[in-house]
Amino acid sequence: MLTPPHPRARDPEPMLRLERISKRFERPGGLRVALDDVSLDLARGQLLGLFGPSGSGKTTLLRIAAGLRRPDSGAVTYNGERLDWMSAAERTRFRRREIACVWSSEPAQERLGVTDHVAMPLLVDRCGRRETDRRVREALLVCEAEQCVGMELRDLSDGERQRVAIARALVSEPRLLLADGPASNLSILEREAIMLLLAELARKARVAVLIAERDAEALVGADPIIYLRDGRLIDPESLGEAGRVYQFPPRGSERAAADA
């Protein structure tokens, strides 16, 4: 039953396993297949990049991995526990303890203070005022957003908003981070900085990180990078030459550079 672990994963046992996940939605025009028989493993310390056009099922996949939705069929196993078998209340408790999410539709125009926003996950833990403040500042510093202390969400630039969102995810010290488009709408350099931060998070904090982006280019440093299209995973190898682009590092360019 156990599939062989990804050869480059440092932890041989997957933390999160999605097995043969399918999900359909009812739409005015009839049933729409969001995910069709998708399986993937994510180990501790791994930074897995998922890309595909909009509507390919990325967000649905992340929502299922986060336990926010149940799949129609298939199994979601987290450290050996079946997430899809839990009751809604159990799942919520579990999620708060283990999982943090960054969604692409982070609040933008609110008059909410940045520190209050980042502190939100700690309210549930009934953290003391002082301790909360310390952890919020620490998370913002880690994410290079310490200058946002004292600002409101609507004052933030796109890049800062993403950094604040990641800080908010880290403040609860999760073991699994799911990020939907954390680097979209950003300049290439901002993107790289965010990916570098997430890569460090995966390697040093041993957090399992799953990132979904529309473009493979945004996924600098993710390994492996997988491609989702019309709710199905596409093997990069099957794309032939084009598939190489999605492997890290881009082997084609390396070779070209060595030949030059």
Partner 1 sequence: MSAKHALLGLLIHRPAYRYQLGERLQERLGPSWAINSGQLYQTVERMYEDGLIELVDGSREDRTERDVYAITASGVEEFDRWFEESTHDARQPRRPLLAKIALAGPDRLKEALRQIEAYERDCAASVNGLTQQRDAIPRAPVVGSRVRADQVFLRLSLSADVAHLEAELKWAKDAHEIVSWLLTEDAIWPPEYGRSGTSKQASERAHAREELFGRIAARSLKEVPGKRREDRDADSSPPPSAGS
What is the closest distance, in whole angstroms, from the C-beta atom of residue 157 to partner 1 in the complex?
A: 9
Residues 6 or more apart whose CB falls under 8 angstroms from that of 155 comprise: none
What is the closest distance, in whole angstroms, from the C-beta atom of residue 30 to partner 1 in the complex?
A: 26
**188-205 vs 158-170: helix crossing angle, rounded to 10:** 10
Binding status of residue 159 toward partner 1 by CB under 8 A: yes
Question: Which strand ranges, in their side-by-side order, compose the sheet holding 73-78?
Answer: 30-43, 14-27, 73-78, 81-82
Binding status of residue 79 toward partner 1 by CB under 8 A: yes
Near partner 1 by CB under 8 A: residue from 127, 142, 166, 198? 142
What is the closest distance, in whole angstroms, from the C-beta atom of residue 22 to partner 1 in the complex?
A: 13
Cβ distance to partner 1 smaller for residue 68 or 199:
199
Provide the phi-psi class of 78: left if phi over 0, else alpha when psi is between -120 and 50, else beta. Answer: beta
Q: Buried (b) or exposed (e) across 154-179, using 16+ Cβ within 10 A?
A: eebeebbbbbbbbbbbbbbebbbbbb
Binding status of residue 1 toward partner 1 by CB under 8 A: yes
Give the CA dihedral 230, 236, 238, 242, nearest 10 degrees.
100
How far, in Å, are 9, 24, 29, 123, 151 from residue 17 at the CA level?
Answer: 14, 20, 32, 30, 39
What is the closest distance, in whole angstroms, from the C-beta atom of residue 87 to partner 1 in the complex?
A: 17
Which residues, 167 to 226, sit near partner 1 by CB under 8 A?
170, 173-175, 187, 189-190, 192-193, 196, 199-201, 203-207, 220-221, 223
Cβ distance to partner 1 smaller for residue 35 or 193:
193
Near partner 1 by CB under 8 A: residue from 36, 37, 133, 138? 138
Residue 75, helix vs strand vs coil: strand
Distance CA 59, CA 51 (A): 11
214 within 8 A of 54, measured Cβ to Cβ: yes
* C-alpha 58: how far from chain center: 10
Fill in the per-residue mask, 81 to 100: x = in contact with partner 1 (CB under 8 A), - = not in contact: x-------------------
Near partner 1 by CB under 8 A: residue from 5, 36, 70, 77? 77
Binding status of residue 13 toward partner 1 by CB under 8 A: yes
Contacts with partner 1 by CB under 8 A lie at 1-2, 13, 44, 75, 77, 79-81, 138-139, 141-142, 144, 146-147, 159, 170, 173-175, 187, 189-190, 192-193, 196, 199-201, 203-207, 220-221, 223, 248-249, 254, 257-258, 260
